[in-house]
Amino acid sequence: MVYVNPAYTSQECSQCHHTHRHNRPNQAVFICRACGFVDHADRNSSHNIAARGWWLWVRGAESRAPVLTLIA
């Protein structure tokens, strides 16, 4: 498991990686102000999270996610 910091993933373009708060004009729409890429905001964010996770995995980063414990 790899922990991905989700900060600014909803404002970052998954195509050109330009990050700006105006890239997300409302809850559902993502429009990149730099390259013009348009997508559903949640789908764009999920692509950014997946890309960050992949890079962490490839680099061999240790997970900082809290360990799950099950208490019965």
pLDDT the model gives residue 30: 97
pLDDT the model gives residue 17: 96
* CA gap 30, 28 in Å, rounded: 7
pLDDT the model gives residue 71: 77
pLDDT the model gives residue 61: 72
Q: What is the mean pLDDT of each run of 10 residues along the chain (72 residues)?
A: 90 97 96 97 97 90 68 72
Decide: 45 and 9 in contact? Cβ < 8 Å: yes
Sign of the CA dihedral 50, 56, 58, 63?
negative
Whole-prediction pTM: 0.79
* CA gap 52, 35 in Å, rounded: 20
